[in-house]
A and B are shown apart, each in its own frame.
Chain A
């Protein structure tokens, strides 16, 4: 498959900070690319450079075969952006907002009504076409923005925190729409989110910290890198249990958090039967789980994604 985005040796310097350091990555046509990192990691700076909003200090970005610094307009026609903040005109109706977008992006006149209808159907807003945006709920506004981002048939859709500030039910709905889009249109998606469970839908994930890309891989591979399963347990006497574990177990990584002992093992099925037999301290709580992206994120950045945030 062809690369739709190619980023090479991208750098951004500000007066006294080096916000983005030698960033390289490719995004394949049709993939969902998750872009994660703690706040201040350089994510927004990178995205702004890719979206033609900010000039890089050095390096190159190609989107859909166009150079971002020299062919800005071609790039702008090739991408759709759903910003973190609301960028709708609330005094206008949904239909008017969409029509303006068609005009900004030179959508052919005879196709405008048809496309507006089409994108409104994708996000289930056909009935609200004539209503002013200020009467919309948060979720409806988000959906309308997604619809608007699709109007000019972009090759890449940038979704910057598309579900931030929405209730869980609406969030789930938004993802449904996004996945529906991927299936139907095969649009490449560049996604940032703070909800790591939502990043699971990505084909590949890049984690950025301190201006650098630390790792890029599929969610499954990333979790595999952490090594197998996680067993969390608490016992009647954690100290004694820990002592026993350190004495008897060699094939697990043992850590303690608050009242919980955490064991990272290659395969919990093999491990658990022998482990429970050997432990003399009664277990009060036991939980076995696969590593989540939260564990991945924590392992790579040393931070929880929600920390130091907002």
Chain B
């Protein structure tokens, strides 16, 4: 068990040492906040207040902020898991692999390390809240943390599985383009995904980000105070097989998803054996 802790500790320690990465990873979410929060909010709010009664008080940025935090989690989780390729390139992976730490513990340690780093990044996004003119209760921000961590775990395990297959960091950019971006756009993080074509809806429903973002919104946004029509319009009533999905089910989905992917990554490590 201590092997898991050691691997986790190493990645977290290195995160705090690497200031460039710390701040560099902020640029993308801030860009998105500007575009979606500043640029798109006028349009979205206009649409809503024009078509829905009582929609005048709707703040799009309040809807999109949890999504952008989730996007930060996604980016950081996937990229941090890919550090396993770096470890391989710089030889450190050998030191880990010849030690008595079991393969599954290596995978879990790496996954937890990446998730922690992602969560720390996500929490740093909270510092922007006062500047956005929105308010969340402190309690809701604390309550959302475990769910953020769970989502980060699911996403890190995606990164881990990819990293266990990739031979070099060259495939990196490609992964980001074909995987990370669609995962953001087809999750409801930035805009509602209610009325998608069937095939797209399938992607939405197997995308772990969908459930993570949904839980985060349910916790952070005071949904009950919104009119049912706004909830409907903003996609805050996620359904699966025709019925509304509960937080417990979403948590379960992310847990199962994480477990399966970590096990697959472990198998892949065991096979490569180097």
Contact = CB atoms under 8 A, between A and B. Distances in A.
Contact of A106 (B13, B96, B98, B100): B100
B17 interface: yes
A96 to B, nearest CB: 7
Given A85-B91, A89-B92, A92-B14, A73 B98 contact: no
Contact of B94 (A54, A55, A87): A87
A104 B101 contact: yes
B7 to A, nearest CB: 8
Contacts of B97: 53
A86 B274 CA distance: 15
Interface string A65-103: 000000001001101010101111111100010001101
The SS class assigned to the A binding surface is: loop
Contacts of B274: 53-54
B5 interface: yes
B3 A103 contact: yes
B92 A105 contact: no
B99 A96 contact: no
A283 to B, nearest CB: 53
A76 B98 contact: yes
A88 B10 CA distance: 12
A51 interface: yes
Contact of B6 (A83, A85, A100): A100
A54 B3 CA distance: 22
A104 B6 contact: yes
Interface in B1-35: 2-3, 5-6, 9-10, 13-14, 17-18
A52 B98 contact: yes
B273 interface: yes
A104 B3 CA distance: 5
Contacts of B5: 103
Nearest to B2: A103
Nearest to B274: A53
B53 interface: no
Nearest to B6: A103
Nearest to A107: B2
Contact of A51 (B9, B92, B98): B98
A85 to B, nearest CB: 5
B10 A100 contact: yes
Contacts of A55: 273
A73 B95 contact: no
Interface in B79-100: 90-92, 94-100
Nearest to B97: A53
A83 B96 contact: no
Nearest to B87: A89
A148 B94 CA distance: 13
Contact of B99 (A76, A83, A89): A76
Given A53-B274, A103-B5, A88 B92 contact: yes
Nearest to A77: B100
B102 interface: yes
Nearest to B93: A87
Interface of B: 2-3, 5-6, 9-10, 13-14, 17-18, 90-92, 94-102, 273-274
Q: What 9 A-B pairs come out closest when comparing CB atoms? A: A103-B6, A104-B99, A87-B91, A76-B100, A73-B100, A87-B95, A85-B91, A87-B94, A103-B2
Given A83-B91, A91-B17, A101-B99, 5 more contacts: A54-B274, A76-B100, A87-B90, A96-B13, A104-B99
Interface of A: 51-55, 73, 76-77, 79, 81, 83, 85-92, 96, 100-101, 103-106, 148
15 contacts: A53-B94, A53-B97, A53-B98, A54-B273, A77-B100, A79-B98, A81-B98, A83-B94, A83-B95, A88-B92, A89-B90, A92-B13, A96-B13, A103-B6, A148-B95
